[in-house]
Amino acid sequence: MDRIQDEIIAEFEMFDDWLDRYDYLIQLSDTLPVISDEHRTERYMIEGCQSKVWVDAELRDGRVYYSADSDALITRGIVALLTRVFNGREPQEIVDLELYFIERTGLGENLSPTRANGLAAMVKQMRMYALAYSLKRQ
């Protein structure tokens, strides 16, 4: 079981409708580990997002930690959820992790097509960082 994903699912279940869930995502945007200004460049920008999204990762003590930002509040909330799930895990664990909270919260199906594409692009990039760290350790 993945405790963090289960917590996120329970948090989303507290809200009856998607307007409240969007408000919750906006509140979550404040919890995002902020990316440094030097990483707010094209190099760290996620391709495929309608909004501007920057993600960086570092390996500390064998575990990956992400920092990120976005110019859109809902997108910041989404990437805050992803960093919450991925932060502090070993690289291979991130690569192999099934992200079931996206489906079980209804997040994937209740986003606009461009935001859903952006979510997929964020997940892909975060996994690519983890894969690179995993290969580097071998």
Number of Cβ within a 10 Å radius of residue 98: 9
Burial track 28-59 (b if 16+ CB lie within 10 A, e otherwise): bbeebeebeeebbeeebebeebebebbbbbeb
**Residue in the structure block whose two tokens are 């906006």:** 26
Residue 57 phi/psi, 5° resolution?
-140, 150
- The reply to whether 49 belongs to the active site is yes
Q: Are 87 and 33 in contact (CB under 8 A)?
A: yes
Alpha-carbon gap, residue 59 to 135, rounded angstroms: 12
From the list 8, 32, 49, 102, the catalytic residue is 49
Angle between helix 73-86 and helix 113-137 axes, rounded to 10 deg: 30
* Active site members: 49
